A and B are shown apart, each in its own frame.
Chain A
Amino acid sequence: MAKIIGGLTSSHIPAVGNAIHNNLQDDPYWKPFFDGYPPIREWLGDHKPDVAINIYNDHGLGFFLDKMPTFAIGAAHEYKNEDEGWGIPQLPPFPGDPKLSWHIIESMVEQEFDITSCQELAVDHGFVVPMQLFWPGAPHNPDMPRCIPISANTVQHPIPTLKRAYDFGKALRRALLSYPDDIKIVVMGTGGMSHQLDGERAGFINKEFDQMCMEKIVTAPEELTKISRRELVEKAGAQGTEFLMWMMMRGALGDKVNPVSSNYHIPISNTGAGTMMLECAA
């Protein structure tokens, strides 16, 4: 049977993609951010997951406002990284696992999460930047897992509640654990942490709130589900709502997790950048 071995979180800022492309990992501005990744890569090298479920939010590449799914699940053989309009170098396609995708889709709908299935889905920086950070050279890293993108809407309100996001993760856990193949799975929650790009409040970052979230997501994720969407915008910034993806990831890990690694740095671009590796309790 399939096993969920851990969860990974990472911010997914476009500028990080450029920094990787330009080899700026040791640059004084970037180093405190990139230093959060080697311990996690070491863990991944030891455990070699077969599949990575990458929970992210599309930023207007895979979806437009004409049809905006609240929760969308990839069901493709591969996922293409396409031009997003601002010149980040594009990567070759990422390998999918459509058989597992359809298992997840069947199970989620059975559990009354009425998702959108996507047999084609262009993936943007929200998906590919964390892949590059955890598996350098992605998708050509020799340990590159097969991947399944899950996108949640944070582009247009109403966005899902934190409780719904966490419950989605719990249902995803049941879906994955019922898969008959002996595979090891990691679940990624990408995006966040606090940032706001738009309005007179642009540049808002909230260190205290981010650090509280990083603590509670380990020990007491249920408490975070009490945060309303308005409060999340107020405390984390208009785009800090991407923390929803972390909650979806956390729900999939089960009650008890062991934090293996954690890093937080301000600022990367306009964002409080958080990175974590949570191992599922045996």
Chain B
Amino acid sequence: MKLDEFDHHAPIEGTTLFDGTQAMKGYALNKMCYSFNAASAREDYLADPEAYMTRFGLNDDHKQACRDKNVLALIAAGGNIYYLAKFAGIFKLDVQDVGAQQTGMTKDEFKEKLRKAGD
């Protein structure tokens, strides 16, 4: 098989495919987010975010993106949205909050965009 047959690596605007490259970059970040399935882990993070991030071996890019709660930066640092959703959940952010932040809209504007897709 030729390399170009792995067609899923061709870029799609506004989209970062979570593939091996991203998986390598974001492993520690995603592992920390996976831990947030447990309520006690969520409490531990909120009690001392810096210590919690260090415990999971996050690098500076991971840490800064977490401090800023910046979803596009978390994705650029290798975060996987299914795991990042658990991070967002700590702050009671839902997928419309996350969508609004990434698209530079208010939550109401983002919800209206979703509604319009049905027209």
Contact = CB atoms under 8 A, between A and B. Distances in A.
B117 A207 contact: yes
A269 B34 contact: no
A197 B117 CA distance: 15
B8 A228 contact: yes
A99 interface: no
Given A84-B37, A230-B9, A230-B10, 12 more contacts: A64-B30, A85-B85, A157-B18, A158-B19, A199-B14, A199-B102, A203-B117, A205-B118, A207-B117, A233-B15, A265-B118, A266-B115
A175 B118 CA distance: 39
Main secondary structure on chain B at its contact with chain A? Answer: helix
Given A199-B102, A230-B8, A238-B17, A65 B39 contact: no
Contacts of B75: 198-199
A97 interface: no
Of all A-B residue pairs in the complex, the 4 with the closest CB atoms, nearest first, are A201-B14, A266-B118, A86-B89, A85-B86
B17 A61 contact: no
B18 A228 contact: no
Given A64-B31, A64-B34, A203 B12 contact: no
B48 interface: no
Given A87-B89, A238-B17, A270-B96, A199 B72 contact: yes
27 contacts: A15-B95, A59-B85, A64-B34, A65-B27, A82-B37, A83-B38, A85-B36, A86-B85, A86-B86, A156-B19, A196-B15, A197-B98, A199-B14, A199-B72, A202-B14, A202-B98, A203-B110, A203-B114, A228-B8, A233-B8, A234-B12, A238-B81, A266-B115, A266-B118, A269-B94, A269-B96, A270-B99
Contacts of B31: 64-66
B71 interface: yes
A230 B90 CA distance: 32
A86 B82 CA distance: 12
Interface string B33-51: 1101111001000000000
Q: Is the interface of A mostly helix, strand, loop or mixed?
A: loop
Interface string A110-151: 000000000000000000000000000000000000000000
B91 to A, nearest CB: 10
Given A65-B30, A238-B15, A265-B118, A200 B72 contact: yes
Contacts of B94: 15, 269
Given A65-B30, A84-B37, A60 B82 contact: yes
